[in-house]
């Protein structure tokens, strides 16, 4: 079986810190793989907020996640401080991808925890259908520093 491999962008222009909470821990004593998706969601909301958007207010559209891929690398434990980098790319007529690099610091070394990609589609929640990627949103994501 082939493993998921996510090719990350060379540069990330947004970073946020997210603490690992006790509710993220599973019966194995580490962060559950399902919780990684929740942590990615938290990072996405912070990224959009940094640009002046939200998932429901995205320059005249909404956003809906069409797909996700996660490449797990290392474990996370209660009390770890997760640093998540986020970058947009692969722009299309109605959507784009968000890429995530999840890392933690262990003994002054950076340890990669996971790589992820979410496919985001611009969406009209009232009409229940995809819409064009707003030009202003694309420009903000491409020019964010």
Decide: 59 and 105 in contact? Cβ < 8 Å. Answer: no
Number of domains in the chain: 1
Residue 1 lies in a domain: no
Considering the entire predicted model, what is its pTM? 0.95
Confidence category of residue 10, pLDDT binned at 50, 70, 90: very high
Q: Is residue 7 part of a domain?
A: no
Pick from 25, 55, 11, 20: nearest CA to 39: 20
Length of the chain, in residues: 145
Flag whether 66 is in a domain.
yes
Domain span including residue 52 = 14-143
pLDDT in tens, 69-112: 999 999 999 999 999 999 999 999 999 999 999 999 888 899 99
How far, in Å, CA of 92 to CA of 138, rounded?
Answer: 10
Establish if 3 belongs to a structural domain.
no
pLDDT value, residue 105: 87
- Tell me the per-residue pLDDT of 33-69, one tens digit each, with 9 for 90 and over: 999 999 999 999 999 999 999 999 999 999 999 999 9
Percentage of the chain lying above the pLDDT 90 cut = 92
CATH number where 91 lies? 3.10.129.10
């Amino acid at each position: 079986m082939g493993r998921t491999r996510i090719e990350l962008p060379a540069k990330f222009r947004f970073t946020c810190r997210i603490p690992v909470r006790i509710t993220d821990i599973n019966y194995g004593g580490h962060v559950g793989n399902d919780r990684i998706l929740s942590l990615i969601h938290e990072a996405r909301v912070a990224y959009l907020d940094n640009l002046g958007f939200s998932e429901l207010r995205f320059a005249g559209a909404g956003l809906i996640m069409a797909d996700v891929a996660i490449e797990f690398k290392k474990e996370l434990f209660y009390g770890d401080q997760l640093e998540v980098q986020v970058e947009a790319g692969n722009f299309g007529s109605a959507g784009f991808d968000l890429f995530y690099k999840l890392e933690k610091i262990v003994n002054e070394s950076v340890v990669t925890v996971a790589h992820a990609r979410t496919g985001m589609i611009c969406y009209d929640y009232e009409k229940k259908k995809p819409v064009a990627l707003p030009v202003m949103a694309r420009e903000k994501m491409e020019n964010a520093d």
